[in-house]
Amino acid sequence: MKSFPLPPEIEEYRDKHWRREESLRVESVADAESFIEQVGFASCLTDSRQPGPSLYVAVCGRRDAVMPHNVQKDPESSHTWILKDEMVRRGKVYYGKLARGKTMFIAPRMVPYFYSILGMTRQEEKTRLSKEALAILKVLRKELEMGTADLKKETGLADRKTFSKAIDELQAAMIVIPSEVIYQPKFTYIWTIAEGRFPELSTKKQDRKFALEEVANCFLVNAGLTIPGELAKVTGLSRPDAGLGNQALVKKGLALQLGLGKYLYSSLRLLDFRLDDI
């Protein structure tokens, strides 16, 4: 994604909304859940080199946070990982690997919109999911939750690569999520059916175009300004889908289009900076 310099006013706006300030930094799991609810969706361990809100950056409380090479000895990345595990365990915010392998937190209020874009009906599962994914799904719908090792044994998917691909497929369709992380006697995820924790997933899917609009609006409200490719990279959506969402905001007067792929949150149009410099 090509880099576009942002006006200082927009960077300061993002500092406040994405908690890139010392006074706003995330410390507790309650802070982390509040942060996800505020921004609507966020990455976990991305740093300032990647666009969008990030739990790690919010834990650091600074705009220029960069993940060190040795993350095991870094207190901020370690604390972010601990908060992630606790949020997965508590199940108050959605967590999973979604479109194009994007691992994200999603606030409950945004779950129906992402599901309307990425999810599939029970009828579609048999034709759209691989046989390996269907095998995992059959076991989990019977057992409700199961650890990775036991799930591999029950499904006969002993090969790590094959199993991981099938689990990722189910996560991308918002059908399966991790419900807990266990480190002793060895590291493993406990997997469960997503709609068991998020009943919103069992309701009828909403209009896809409206869902794209809501995702675009959620991002723009907290970003202030979005530049070419940014929404797509943050969410894992395709660029055409991200464009449809942003264009819907323009039609409703919620965004101003400043150029190709550049959209300003309309409430910020009176900020004192030159729009033609963006």
Spatial distance between the Cα atoms of 120 and 83, rounded to a whole number of angstroms: 30
- Tokens found for residue 177: 């999520």
**Could you report the per-residue pLDDT of 11-69, keeping only the tens digit for each?**
999 999 999 999 999 999 999 999 999 999 999 999 999 999 999 999 999 999 998 88
Question: The pTM is what?
Answer: 0.92
| Cβ 86 vs Cβ 27: under 8 Å | no
List C-alpha distances in Å: 53 to 28, 137, 198.
17, 31, 23
How confident is the model over 194-246, as pLDDT tens digits? 999 998 787 778 899 999 999 999 999 999 999 999 999 999 999 999 999 99
Q: In the chain, what are the domains?
A: 8-113 (no CATH), 120-202 (1.10.10.10), 208-277 (1.10.10.10)
Give the span between the Cα atoms of 154 and 266, in whole angstroms. 53
Q: What tokens appear for 259 in the block?
A: 């150029």
Give phi and psi for 74, each to the nearest 5. -95, 120
pLDDT, tens digit, 9 for 90 and up, residues 86-145: 999 999 999 999 988 889 999 999 999 999 999 998 889 999 999 999 999 999 999 999
Cis? peptide before 185, omega within 30° of 0: yes
Count the neighbouring beta carbons within 10 Å of the beta carbon of residue 126.
9
**Which pLDDT score, from 0 to 100, does residue 111 have?**
95
DSSP character at residue 252? T
